[in-house]
């Protein structure tokens, strides 16, 4: 399932119509549309009449109607269990974090639907103006696994450059794709594996060491080390961090080399929801390098760096608990 976000008028419905109208072979899509207001205009604009479309018209997916999202998806599956993919088009006012958290919290839903990724539609003409008027715009961009820059063909060079700069400052890891008149390869929106613990590791390579929050108060921070991390210290730090600051951390993800473990520990989180597990062994010859990425509001970079450094395993390879026992003896 792919969540399509973006500010009002950015071009979400145009892109959705293009996907539904594009040649897709035997693939069949389900669509959930959310329009903020009493009249669901978006449902009238969607042209794929043969697709299973469920429209929610009483508010944002991320707040009062979040329960209805689950009901809508259940209805969609009941109407047609053979869907290949589901797209959720959110209102421009929606914060994507609670939507994603819904799938981490609802075990029954996650058994039937896999959250593949979040795609944000970015308006090259109006981004600079809209981001100043609503903090949700910055959150949508920072949270995304893929950025689609619309209206790049009609934007002035300065508008296009400014929009690209804003998007990159908020989210340097997500691919940025230029879209002309809503034309986008449907496959570009699927198989993003943004919430898959076995997803591609190169997402961490693209992330910068740090991005200043600037005036939007949303920033990202990447932490890396070639030293192994102590399992007890790392788990304790992450749990404390999520408990104290989870509301400000939009997303977190990482690949970690734990002391005494030859397999990679992979995790991802959405605000206070955190999921992690050991995966396949580190490839022979591959660097056992830990990479963590945090995206959020008002991130305390110094505290994050200090907390991460405190998780480093001793150089002699002993664990923190072993070190404490030896000291006590």
Asked whether residue 195 is domain-assigned, the answer is: no
Residue 68 lies in domain = 2-189
User: Which residue(s) pair with 269 in the sheet?
Assistant: 252, 274
Q: What's 140's domain CATH number?
A: 3.40.50.300
Residues 64, 106: contact at Cβ < 8 Å? no
Is the pLDDT assigned to residue 327 strictly greater than 90?
Answer: no
Q: Give the domain-ending residue among 135, 165, 189.
A: 189
How many domains does the chain contain in total? 2
31 and 168 belong to one structural domain: yes
Asked whether residue 135 is domain-assigned, the answer is: yes
At 16 the pLDDT is: 80
Between 328 and 9, the higher pLDDT residue: 9
Q: Name, in order, each residue with C-beta under 8 angstroms of 201's C-beta and a sequence gap of 6 or more.
A: 255, 291
Is the pLDDT assigned to residue 152 strictly greater than 50?
Answer: yes
Mean residue pLDDT of the chain comes to 79
Asked whether residue 6 is domain-assigned, the answer is: yes
At 252 the pLDDT is: 92
At 23 the pLDDT is: 64
Strands (E), 85-192: 85-89, 117-123, 146-150, 176-179
49 and 25 belong to one structural domain: yes
Q: Give the domain-ending residue among 189, 215, 248.
A: 189
User: What are the Cα distances from residue 311, in Å, to 31, 223, 224, 293?
Assistant: 44, 12, 12, 16
Residues 144, 119: contact at Cβ < 8 Å? yes
77 and 99 belong to one structural domain: yes
Asked whether residue 81 is domain-assigned, the answer is: yes
77 and 171 belong to one structural domain: yes
217 and 143 belong to one structural domain: no
Confidence band for 61, pLDDT divided at 50, 70 and 90: very low
At 144 the pLDDT is: 94
167 and 97 belong to one structural domain: yes
pLDDT digits (tens, 9 = 90+) for 234-288: 999 999 999 999 888 999 999 999 999 999 999 989 988 888 999 889 888 888 9
Asked whether residue 329 is domain-assigned, the answer is: no
184 and 215 belong to one structural domain: no
SS3 67: helix
Is the pLDDT assigned to residue 31 strictly greater than 90?
Answer: no
At 65 the pLDDT is: 43
pTM: 0.79
SS3 183: strand
127 and 18 belong to one structural domain: yes
Structure tokens at 295: 């995206």
32 and 95 belong to one structural domain: yes
pLDDT digits (tens, 9 = 90+) for 160-207: 999 999 998 888 889 999 988 878 887 888 889 888 877 654 454 444
- What would the mean pLDDT of 110-117 be, rounded to a whole number? 86
Asked whether residue 7 is domain-assigned, the answer is: yes
Q: Name, in order, each residue with C-beta under 8 angstroms of 32's C-beta and a sequence gap of 6 or more.
A: 53, 54, 55, 56, 69, 72, 73, 76, 86, 87, 88, 89
Is the pLDDT assigned to residue 319 strictly greater than 70?
Answer: no
At 233 the pLDDT is: 98
Asked whether residue 194 is domain-assigned, the answer is: no
The DSSP secondary structure of 36-66, one letter per residue, reads SSSS-HHHHH---TTSEEEEE-SS-TTTTTH
Q: Give the domain-ending residue among 189, 222, 242.
A: 189
206 and 91 belong to one structural domain: no
At 325 the pLDDT is: 33
Phi, psi of 128 (to 5 degrees): -60, -35
Pick the range with the lowest mean pLDDT from 39-48, 259-268, 307-316: 39-48
pLDDT digits (tens, 9 = 90+) for 187-196: 888 889 888 8
Phi, psi of 182 (to 5 degrees): 75, 5
118 and 209 belong to one structural domain: no
Q: How many CB atoms within 10 Å of residue 91?
A: 24
206 and 184 belong to one structural domain: no
Q: What's 230's domain CATH number?
A: 3.30.1220.10
At 32 the pLDDT is: 79
The packing angle between helices 301-309 and 231-245, to 10°, is 160
The DSSP secondary structure of 228-255, one letter per residue, reads -B-HHHHHHHHHHHHHHHTTTEEEEEEE
Q: How far apart (Å, rounded) are the C-alpha atoms in residues 41 and 244?
A: 40
Asked whether residue 156 is domain-assigned, the answer is: yes
Is the pLDDT assigned to residue 80 strictly greater than 80?
Answer: no
């Amino acid at each position: 399932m792919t969540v399509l976000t973006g500010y009002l008028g950015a071009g979400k419905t145009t892109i959705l119509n293009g996907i539904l109208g594009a040649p897709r072979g035997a693939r069949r899509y389900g669509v959930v549309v959310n329009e903020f207001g009493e009249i669901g205009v978006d449902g009238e604009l969607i042209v794929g009449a043969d697709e299973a479309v469920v429209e929610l018209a009483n508010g944002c997916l991320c707040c009062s109607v979040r329960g209805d999202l689950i009901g809508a998806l259940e209805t969609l599956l009941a109407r047609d269990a053979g869907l290949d993919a589901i797209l959720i088009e959110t209102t421009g006012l929606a914060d994507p974090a609670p939507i994603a958290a819904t799938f981490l919290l609802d075990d029954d839903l996650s058994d039937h639907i896999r959250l593949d990724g979040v795609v944000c539609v970015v308006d090259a003409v109006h981004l600079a103006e809209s981001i100043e008027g609503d903090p949700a715009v910055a959150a949508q961009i920072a949270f995304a696994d893929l950025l689609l820059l619309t209206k790049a063909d009609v934007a002035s060079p300065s508008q296009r450059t400014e929009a690209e700069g804003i998007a990159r400052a908020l989210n340097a890891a997500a691919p940025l794709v230029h879209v002309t008149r809503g034309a986008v390869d449907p496959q570009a929106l699927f198989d993003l594996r943004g919430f898959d613990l076995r997803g591609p590791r190169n997402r961490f390579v693209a992330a910068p060491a740090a991005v200043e929050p600037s005036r939007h108060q949303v920033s990202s921070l990447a932490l890396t080390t070639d030293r192994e991390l102590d399992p007890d210290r790392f788990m304790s730090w992450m749990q404390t961090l999520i408990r104290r600051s989870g509301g400000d951390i939009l997303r977190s993800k990482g690949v970690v080399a734990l002391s005494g473990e030859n397999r990679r520990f992979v995790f991802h989180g959405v605000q206070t929801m955190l999921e992690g597990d050991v995966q396949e062994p580190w490839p022979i010859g591959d660097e056992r390098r830990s990479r963590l990425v945090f995206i959020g509001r008002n991130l305390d970079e110094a505290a994050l760096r200090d907390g991460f450094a405190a998780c480093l395993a001793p150089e002699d390879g002993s664990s923190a608990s072993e070190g404490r026992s030896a000291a006590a003896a």
